[in-house]
Amino acid sequence: MKMKRILRIFITIVAFLITNILFLSTANAGNWSSVACGYSHSLAIKTTGTLWAWGSNLDYQLGLGDNTQRTTPTQIGTAIRWSSVYCGSNIPATTGVQQPAVATGGY
């Protein structure tokens, strides 16, 4: 059990570092208005109001309808103009401009 926890922490740290390196290398800093990181996933809102997610997605926390890992930012839907984003351990939540808070997945 202890080894499993150590492995999970190690994977989280590596995923966080890789995510940030990829995000910083591919993203124009002027295009993002909000970024939040959970246990093994990240969400961000571009200045256009579009919502993007990437990370482990093992528990469907990216809200993309599957549990496939995403290593680069992937857009989530197009119907809502998002205004803020929050990530708990495995539960991301967002708020739209004219939309109440929405949890996109996870547990």
CA-CA distance, 107 to 18, in Å (whole number)?
A: 24
Band (pLDDT 50/70/90 cuts) for residue 107 is very low
Position 28 scores a pLDDT of: 53
Query: Considering the entire predicted model, what is its pTM?
Result: 0.63
Position 19 scores a pLDDT of: 66
* Number of domains composing the chain: 1
Position 10 scores a pLDDT of: 80
| pLDDT higher than 70, residue 81 | yes
Q: How far is CA 64 from CA 3, 21, 43, 67, in A?
A: 31, 22, 12, 8
Structural domain for 29, as ranges: 2-103
Q: pLDDT tens, 12-65?
A: 777 766 766 666 555 555 688 888 888 788 888 898 989 898 888 887 878 888
| pLDDT higher than 80, residue 89 | no
